[in-house]
């Protein structure tokens, strides 16, 4: 029986092992571990790739979101509106920044619903924190209109969306600041934790750098309370190496998405994500391939029995489901989606045959002829 794991870390390493080994040796021999030139170079390349002024390497995107919020000026006690279909990290960063996360409904595209954002704005709202989920960027025109109308900041959770674009503009460049993740399973992943804060605002960048460096400014003087959150120099070197072939990686993911779309086209019980070229406003990088499926749990088991790994995002828990953290919202559309959503394997180790095998099994589960 073929095996199509949801993710294959060893295969990803093996695919570029010689390149990685050369970096380990080079960085090791130089003893260049913290805040060295590799980090600076990567930050410069990342900023230019995204078309933003500044990128700051941080320890992970959760730290990055907290820093992005604080540096953008989200104040203690303010409310921050986010999609309930996001990682706990998004809400946790708001909480750590001293503000209150307000989860709202997502729409049919699984991204934050602008109408729900508008309805959730209160006198205490300070920011909208859209998650550019699954490698797709939200309707930023609508969100910017709402933010402009109510005087709110936009801070993006672009953890899943490096290189994703809306109307030609990269995720992470729309608001006051944004965070990107380099967690190993992300499209640009390192070998542990890593992240970046990106911004066009030089003061936000300075403030963020100070927060991540014990409150010290560029001259080394302590100017505020801070903490320690850094992207390791070794990781920066590895990420920089991978950034060079990032375009090809995204291209392959979009090709896999096209193959899935074709293979699942006739299955009425499945709603696939939008195909790569279906909407000229969106350029998606397919961090995930998240479908909606009838009898989702049975389908998941059926695929598992045939060697196919799938995943339900966030362990099946939306933010507002976490009543242990004090959430009291009722979000029926999100509840319904969370009974239907399933992520099919989406990674660079997949062959075309693997994708065909997954599609054939989804079709046979629903009784379509092969
Ligand atoms: C991965 C992820 C994060 C957290 O990233 P870390 O680097 O692991 O802290 C935050 N938000 C979303 C949407 C993510 O997918």
Examine residue 3 and state whether it is found in any structural domain, yes or no: no
Q: Are 226 and 310 part of one and the same domain? A: no
Q: Residue 181: CB within 6 Å of ligand 1?
A: yes
Q: Are 280 and 137 part of one and the same domain? A: no
Q: Which atom of ligand 1 approaches the CA of 193 most closely?
A: 7
Q: Are 106 and 217 part of one and the same domain? A: yes
Q: Are 250 and 287 part of one and the same domain? A: yes
Rounded to an integer, the average pLDDT of 251-268 is 98
What is the C-alpha to C-alpha distance for residues 256 and 253, in angstroms, rounded to an integer?
5
287, 306 Cβ separation under 8 angstroms = no
Domain with 54, as residue range(s), is 10-243
Examine residue 263 and state whether it is found in any structural domain, yes or no: yes
Examine residue 1 and state whether it is found in any structural domain, yes or no: no
- 226's tokens: 């801070």
Q: Measured in angstroms, how far is the CA atom of residue 206 from the centroid of ligand 1?
A: 23
Q: Residue 60: CB within 6 Å of ligand 1?
A: yes
Examine residue 170 and state whether it is found in any structural domain, yes or no: yes
Q: Are 283 and 305 part of one and the same domain? A: yes
Residue where a domain terminates, one of 243, 270, 300: 243
Q: Are 258 and 238 part of one and the same domain? A: no
Quick: pLDDT tens for 73-118.
Answer: 998 999 999 999 999 999 999 999 999 999 999 999 999 999 999 9
Q: Are strands 165-166 and 282-283 parallel, antiparallel or unpaired?
A: antiparallel
143, 114 Cβ separation under 8 angstroms = yes
Q: Which atom of ligand 1 approaches the CA of 64 most closely?
A: 9
What is the C-alpha to C-alpha distance for residues 158 and 164, in angstroms, rounded to an integer?
9
Examine residue 122 and state whether it is found in any structural domain, yes or no: yes
Examine residue 56 and state whether it is found in any structural domain, yes or no: yes
Number of domains in the chain: 2
Q: Is residue 370 predicted with pLDDT exceeding 90? A: no
Q: Are 307 and 348 part of one and the same domain? A: yes
- Torsion angle of alpha carbons 217, 221, 225, 229, nearest 10°? 50
What is the C-alpha to C-alpha distance for residues 93 and 193, in angstroms, rounded to an integer?
16
Q: Are 133 and 157 part of one and the same domain? A: yes
Residue where a domain terminates, one of 192, 222, 243: 243
Q: Residue 195: CB within 6 Å of ligand 1?
A: yes
Residue where a domain terminates, one of 243, 271, 295: 243
Examine residue 265 and state whether it is found in any structural domain, yes or no: yes
3-state secondary structure at position 345: coil
What is the C-alpha to C-alpha distance for residues 320 and 100, in angstroms, rounded to an integer?
13
- From residue 156, give the alpha-carbon distance in Å to each of 36, 71, 114, 150, 203: 27, 13, 14, 17, 17
Which residue's alpha carbon is at the smallest distance from atom 5 of ligand 1? 61
Backbone angles phi, psi at 58, to 5 degrees: -135, 175
In the chain, what percentage of residues exceed pLDDT 90? 98
Can you give the pTM of this predicted structure? 0.98
Q: Is residue 369 predicted with pLDDT exceeding 90? A: no
The alpha-carbon radius of gyration of the chain (Å, integer) is 21
In a mutational test of the pocket of ligand 1, which residue from 171, 183, 232, 346 has the highest number of ligand atoms less than 8 Å from its CB? 183
What is the C-alpha to C-alpha distance for residues 118 and 146, in angstroms, rounded to an integer?
6
Q: Which atom of ligand 1 approaches the CA of 160 most closely?
A: 15
Q: Are 142 and 278 part of one and the same domain? A: no
- From residue 113, give the alpha-carbon distance in Å to each of 82, 84, 320: 10, 10, 15
Examine residue 2 and state whether it is found in any structural domain, yes or no: no
Q: Are 284 and 346 part of one and the same domain? A: yes
Look up the CATH number of the domain holding residue 261.
3.90.1150.10
Q: Are 140 and 263 part of one and the same domain? A: no
Look up the CATH number of the domain holding residue 106.
3.40.640.10
Q: Residue 131: CB within 6 Å of ligand 1?
A: yes
Longest dimension (CA), the chain: 70
In the chain, what percentage of residues exceed pLDDT 70? 100
Q: Are 283 and 196 part of one and the same domain? A: no
Quick: pLDDT tens for 192-209.
Answer: 999 999 999 999 999 999
3-state secondary structure at position 110: coil
Quick: pLDDT tens for 135-187.
Answer: 999 999 999 999 999 999 999 999 999 999 999 999 999 999 999 999 999 99
């Amino acid at each position: 029986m073929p095996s199509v794991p949801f993710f294959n870390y060893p295969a990803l390493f093996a695919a570029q092992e010689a390149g990685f080994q050369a970096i380990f040796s080079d960085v090791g021999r130089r003893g260049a571990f913290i805040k060295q030139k590799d980090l600076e170079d990567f930050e410069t390349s990342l900023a230019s790739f995204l078309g933003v002024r500044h990128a700051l390497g941080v320890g992970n995107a959760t730290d990055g979101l907290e820093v992005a919020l604080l540096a953008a000026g989200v104040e203690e006690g303010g409310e921050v509106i986010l999609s309930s279909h996001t990682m706990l990290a998004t809400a946790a960063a708001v909480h750590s920044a001293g503000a209150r996360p307000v989860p709202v409904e997502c729409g049919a595209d699984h991204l934050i619903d602008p109408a729900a954002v508008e309805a959730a704005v209160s006198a205490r709202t300070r920011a909208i924190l859209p998650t550019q989920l699954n490698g797709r960027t939200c309707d930023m025109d609508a969100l910017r209109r709402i933010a402009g109308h109510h005087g709110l900041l936009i801070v993006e959770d672009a953890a899943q969306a490096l290189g994703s674009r809306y109307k030609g503009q990269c995720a992470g460049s729309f608001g006051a600041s944004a965070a990107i993740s380099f967690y190993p399973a992300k499209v640009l992943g390192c070998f542990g934790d890593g992240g970046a804060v990106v911004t066009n605002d030089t003061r936000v960048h300075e403030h963020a750098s100070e927060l991540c460096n014990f409150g010290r400014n560029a001259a080394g003087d302590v100017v505020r309370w801070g903490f320690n959150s850094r992207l390791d120099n070794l990781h920066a070197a590895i990420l920089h190496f991978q950034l060079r072939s990032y375009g090809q990686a995204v291209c392959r993911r979009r090709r896999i998405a096209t193959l899935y779309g074709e293979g699942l086209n006739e299955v009425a019980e499945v709603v696939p994500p939008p195909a790569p070229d279906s909407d000229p406003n969106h350029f998606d990088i397919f961090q995930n391939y998240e479908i909606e499926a009838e009898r989702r749990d049975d389908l998941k088991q059926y695929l598992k029995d045939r060697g196919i790994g799938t995943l339900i995002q966030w362990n099946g828990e939306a933010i507002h489901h976490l009543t242990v953290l004090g959430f009291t919202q009722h979000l029926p559309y999100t509840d319904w989606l969370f009974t239907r959503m399933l992520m099919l394997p989406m990674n660079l180790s997949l062959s075309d045959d693997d994708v065909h095998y997954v599609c054939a099994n989804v079709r046979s589960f629903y009784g379509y002829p092969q």
